[in-house]
Amino acid sequence: MKKLKIIFAGTANFSEKHLSALIKYNYNIIAVITQPDRPFGRGQKIIFSPVKQLAIKNNLPVLQPLNLNNEKFYKIILNFQADIMIVVAYGKIIPQIILSIFKKGCINVHASLLPRWRGPTPIQSAILFGDKKTGISVIKMNDKVDSGDIITSNECEIKITDTTKKLSNKLSKLGIQTLLDALYKIDNNIDSSKKQNEQYATFSKKILKKEALLNSNKNAKFLERLIRAFNPWPICYFVLNNIHIKVWQASIIKNGPCKNTTGRIISINKKGIQIETKQDILNIEKIQFPGKNILNIQQIITSNKNNFKIGKILF
């Protein structure tokens, strides 16, 4: 059986795991598209994307266009004579002129049960809005965001302790399985695809760093989900003595509506720092000071008791 000639487009760690699986199973990857190199961190050092690093390691041609919608890039892709393009968390919209090149089309591995949570942050949104399940959808790409026909999909339970990092790891494994199933169907001309029901479409949005600042006027359930959704980036925080302190883990203590001032420390014990919110208590369990290790509550009580006193307003 003739192997599909594949161009793979992706950037993030989630993408890299899918590309790694395709290489492991000897799929015919003839080129890789990834986002341009960007400076990272305080030192603004240029860092290659995880996908680019893997491609170089496996001697695959790497393309990093600034603009996908131009004639030069179109001709480069055309000359590869690929059968199909696979897109996994690439981070840019693929223009129709590129989508139309491939005789087997372009497919996208998306980390949600479409049409729920189209857009750039489906995993974070599923956690933040309290979804009980999510999953992977492999779709035929068209000129609209995440709206193509679903080739195949698989569900995944969201646990109450799942962070974006944990759920991403689960979904990457499920994504590989779902992608391989989709490629088998495509390679064998099995079309069981179905259209998305636009009536149920929801949209995730790009996350901004400023949204990670905790606000006690929200209820504890929302704040706890926000902390999990923003782990490992951008990490929720509060400001104490002009210092940004990151919150890595919290839980909820049911207490009903707030009777006093929101954001106030009402108790500190071995279980955590308890903060009154609009509804119920947010129990902070792990925090991190700038440049320091993550601290659990026992370490907080021992080394930072002067910073956290009952009655103090944290956020």
How many angstroms from the chain centroid is the CA of residue 91?
A: 11
The helix-helix angle for 13-24 and 50-57 (nearest 10°) equals: 20
Examine the pLDDT at 254 and tell me if it is beyond 90: no
Q: Which of 8-17, 39-48, 142-151 has the lowest mean pLDDT?
A: 39-48
Task: Report the distance separating Cα 148 and Cα 270, nearest Å.
Answer: 50
Report, as an integer, the average pLDDT of 189-201.
94
Task: Report the distance separating Cα 228 and Cα 248, nearest Å.
Answer: 8
Amino acid at 183: L
Percent of the chain's residues with pLDDT above 70 = 97
The closest alpha carbon to 227, from 272, 180, 170, belongs to 272
Examine the pLDDT at 1 and tell me if it is beyond 50: no
The closest alpha carbon to 61, from 92, 91, 31, belongs to 31
Q: Indicate the DSSP class of residue 212.
A: G
Alpha-helix runs per DSSP H in the chain: 13-24, 50-57, 71-80, 96-99, 122-128, 164-187, 220-229, 297-303
Q: Indicate the DSSP class of residue 183.
A: H
Domains of the chain, CATH where assigned? 5-200 (3.40.50.170), 209-303 (3.10.25.10)
Report, as an integer, the average pLDDT of 68-97.
94
Task: Report the distance separating Cα 294 and Cα 167, nearest Å.
Answer: 21
What is the full DSSP assignment across 289-308? Answer: -TTS-EEEHHHHHHH-TTT-
- Please state the pTM of the whole predicted model: 0.93
Report, as an integer, the average pLDDT of 17-42.
91
Residue found by looking up tokens 């026992």 in the block: 298
Task: Report the distance separating Cα 223 and Cα 230, nearest Å.
Answer: 10
Give the tokens for residue 161.
């302790």
Q: How confident is the model at residue 314 (pLDDT cuts 50, 70, 90)?
A: confident
Distances in Å between the alpha carbon of 95 and those of 8, 74, 101, 306, 309? 15, 10, 11, 56, 55
Report, as an integer, the average pLDDT of 121-133.
97
**Angle 88-139-199 from CA coordinates, rounded to 5°:** 120
Note the pLDDT of residue 2: 54
Residues 6+ apart with CB under 8 A from 141: 87, 94, 99, 105, 106, 107, 108, 148
Query: For residue range 259-305, what is the model confidence (pLDDT) as tens digits?
Result: 777 888 898 888 899 999 999 999 999 999 998 899 888 887 777 66
Note the pLDDT of residue 312: 86
